[in-house]
Structure 1
């Protein structure tokens, strides 16, 4: 290792020879519970990231063995929803089947909220309204603009305690604050449905939105992750059983059977948060060239710099060539 990188970095009880030593080689990888962070896909070994760099989503993520016999899905969801805190609650309602099923089961005790971004091709508010109208659920729109996402970014990074590669998780930050401002203490979501039915870990999303929800003072509740349900769900990558149940519960078929599509926020102007000098120092410490050609790269480097700024105990003084 270059002697210029030899000073120890101290952060949250962990130490390493450099930022590279704490994060691991020349890329950010999975930590033991997992958050795929700033620089693309993880390597098979996973290895180290910054330990303790975020509050944990309450559900630990084993890969469910599917050894137990599957139970009727409706019974499982009903039992999971019975574990929710008593009293009024808000439901994060997107335009998809996961939260729609919860809206159908909980229609008499929740007020639904949907984020309505004024960003081309990104809002699902009209689909959420269709669901709410069909089920007779009260729905409140939270209208946001690009400036709301960009303004919220430092606080969002502080809450989730990790960099991002797309701004989509910031939607939860904005929604949770609107819910809290209206006086609710509990936010229910359809988070985890894809992971439970597919047996995947959700490492680059679930812990992040869980932290953002709890940072507002809300109790984050995800019935699909409840231990009364998750270990008993039969493997069903296409969620056909859930889609069938949605139709039985009155969710419009066009919503219930709509194919799942990844949700990524459109590119936004992050110039106010982009610090070239700090990014250059981070890049030297990591032994990387800070490419900013794609939106993913711009978001990654900008939020990594914000992360370092929000946690000043991360000592970045030991920079230099990795040769």
Structure 2
């Protein structure tokens, strides 16, 4: 039997052919979208409990991904293995749930065996199949048929194009539901508190100041040298200026001090009355950290005093406090 030696060109051609076949299938399906997609989305949108996705083998793997996408985008969902469902896990299903059953052939034995119980429980069922005349398609309340498509596998055996298209349909439905529910980035972050997005969208200025614990404050009557020492001690490059009542009246930065020194060393013996910014930009601790960062970037400043309801400074954050936390 002659051997076939693969070359780099062969690899590129093979990968390119698979991508073309699968991409073509997705784009072709776009032209076939019909009422069944609308019906499925409306049914899922009105679900008052969980969307339960089920499937065997490769379809099950795709189902797990679809379920995970639904759950993270505002549609409560979990995956039910049909074989486990046959042995007690159907107890997870209620009459308020919606089942999304995935089977390329529409004849997967394990799925067909749980259908009678699902019907008795009263849950609605959406089928995603290739054969719209299959048993699963006929038993489902709504059937989404991907049709007979060309698998990228040259043997026509390994699920490739069919699983890719099914996954794309699941993603598309999940995003349609996300849009219909006005699902926000903040809610997405709520479901992903351990990720970088969750950190960016859930952390407040209060969380930042608990980490940094910096609050350099000086009285407006203080002299130049004393303020310089206080600023150096804080290591933040700025101080909040307060009046006799402790209310914030301004901010002084190391840049302000350097500019003052250009007028001569005699400034060292004077107070800071003429030096500080009397209209500082401030924030409150309940503001999201990402909003604080945007404010600093927009205003081209590196420090922000944090004030309470009485306009008294309770902290000062530096832009580096935010970047250190991954912003």
Larger RCO: 1 or 2 (CA < 8 Å, sep 6+): 1
Higher gyration radius (CA): 2
- Which structure has the highest helix share of the two? 2
> Which band: TM-score by shorter chain?
under 0.3
- Which structure has the highest strand share of the two? 2
Length-normalised TM-score, structure 1: 0.25
